[in-house]
Structure 1
């Protein structure tokens, strides 16, 4: 009570406060405890914000506790010895400084765990009854989601990139028919392009390159032989997919490519990509016709 949310390790607090009698049966309780321990393992041991020293005693203790608890659950909801040992190990790891002046706990802000957790939060923006639609209360919901930034180590640039990915992923996973999702993803990439021109942060550039390469790879798989991809039933999606692919390619070439930045060559990325799609598709079509 009275503590700032960024100074709280949520899975630890849940383990501290809830006990077996709060659950309907032993199986549900065991599964809940294991999930929380797995989150602690992911955030503090597997993907920590601050790299671990192999000789760190707290990390060794936490590994032992988690390993033992998977076979024999800890008695939670009490301030007993096992919970004290767990709290000591967790807080020792979560309180390690990342070089900033903040006294925040670092348990969910290591990459890629924080990005995956944030992606799951952004998924809440979609209507559970119609996954191609965004909920009406999206603005209010987004304000609540952004309150997790301090816990997850998210900033506006990472938000823009994650949201672009979530919109794109929803377009793909819901049958590639809802053009509003595709246009929204492309529009979000315009924000990503602005961000990419203002930063040279190597960690962000790595995430940016990986995300955009996945989007571009998906688009080009459909565009390099577009005669095989599009027909009268889905040709209306072609323009949007071209635009998305070109947007991703432009950022990768102009803002991620070190060669481009070094030489400062004038490259018309859009024209080059579209020319490549046309030539490749024609070659494929002629090759198929000659068989």
Structure 2
């Protein structure tokens, strides 16, 4: 029995059912699917589909068999029809959806050909078509950029690194995604960032009673906003963790030494301004030191 293919097919059906069939609360909690978002579940579908394609290629190659002409045409045709249906709906309802992919019809035809060619064991032709789709398709959707903007070369980051070298401490970035990016690239210890898995050590400091475990026990980005009192954790969307910050809170007084903020409404009562920077977008980035009330 092709257990790998059976397992991958089961995964695809489970993910499809989670996306489109209501009433899955209990099962989704058991499978931890409730801790992600639909967009990431669709990524899972894509990964499982690629694995299925690789397995089918290997199976047909090992056993020197190929599917009949009708069995090869049907799935390729069904796939092509699905792409045309999506395009028709997008054209009528959301025309902008097709703007990034003006050659969608070409990628649809080539993808249908890949399905047909793999079934018929035309592996070289399938590989060439698949290479064209992946390189050209992804190249148009995600352009290749020359160089990377190094935040460490900016004045705020240089000051962050200087302060951290002189007085090592833990940082919190409050406000937009800019403070988070600045702290990450500066290489300082911070409560911001994107977690592949939650750190028990970090979250035991933020939420010692595990009151918000459902909100932070997930793959997500961690960002901070101004608030009152001890940290309150929420999820604006499934893959984002938002935590409130008050410099006078017990958490901040015990575990935070410096704050980088571009947020309005941050209570300055327990903060001492260290430096301030005007950014090109006319916002202000400020470095604070946490002080006693």
- Please tell me the TM-score bracket, short chain as reference: under 0.3
Q: TM-score, normalised by structure 1?
A: 0.27
Q: TM-score, normalised by structure 2?
A: 0.27
By percentage of residues, which structure has more helix? 1
Which structure has the larger Rg? 2
By percentage of residues, which structure has more strand? 2
